[in-house]
Chain A
């Protein structure tokens, strides 16, 4: 059974204070690792897909990296508008997504 664990559960940052979120996983045959952003009361919004160890992707202040056992989402110089819950999901041999519980990030001005 595929498993995804995200840490920490919650992260409070000062504006400009960079940090990283962790997503550790076990999966049978990784086909892709996905990062989503979810704002309160809304559906998850797609951010990145990573396919193989060593791959990196960037979008504005966010950078996602992937190893064989975990992925990191780095937030550089965050702003209050980066406050959200960040979800990680893995896709294995069965093509279905298994989600972690998420990390809720709060950025204070």
Chain B
């Protein structure tokens, strides 16, 4: 049981490039979410999903896309990277919406 896994661990992009951050969980959790963590600020919700085929926006969704085609996977896509998207990104999952969330190890993204 690996829990929540994220790849890559580190990534450097140039402004305007696109990429996908991967997140997978093997706990059969219905709820999955993406957060970003910036210095001096709390974790902020980007997008979330309450089940396969269902996604919704969080607090800071601009510049990011998500999809949920399977229960296990919840990728986060950056369409055209900007320096303001330099951050540490965490994926989390829980059994259902509102249950305790369990976090992955994070992806540290730098946009030059």
Interface residues of A (CB under 8 A from B): 4, 31-32, 34, 36, 41-46, 49, 87, 89, 91, 95-102
Given contacts A43-B90, A43-B105, A95 and B97 within 8 Å (CB-CB): yes
**Interface residues of B toward A: which range?**
20 to 34
B34 within 8 A of A: no
For A44, give its contact among B43, B48, B58 (CB under 8 Å).
B43
Q: How far is the CA of A74 from the CA of B41 in the complex (A)?
A: 22
B-side interface residues toward A, CB under 8 Å? 4, 35, 40-45, 48, 58, 90, 92, 97-98, 100-106
Partner of A46, one of B35, B90, B100: B100
Instruction: Give the docked Cα–Cα distance between A4 and B104 (Å).
Output: 22
Cβ–Cβ contact A101 & B41, under 8 A: yes
Q: B43 touching A87 by the CB < 8 A rule?
A: yes
B106 touches A42 (CB 8 A): yes
Chain B residues closer than 8 Å to A99, beta-carbon distance:
35, 42-44
Q: A7 to nearest B CB, angstroms?
A: 13
A4 touches B98 (CB 8 A): no
Measured between beta carbons, the chain A residues less than 8 angstroms from B58 are 96
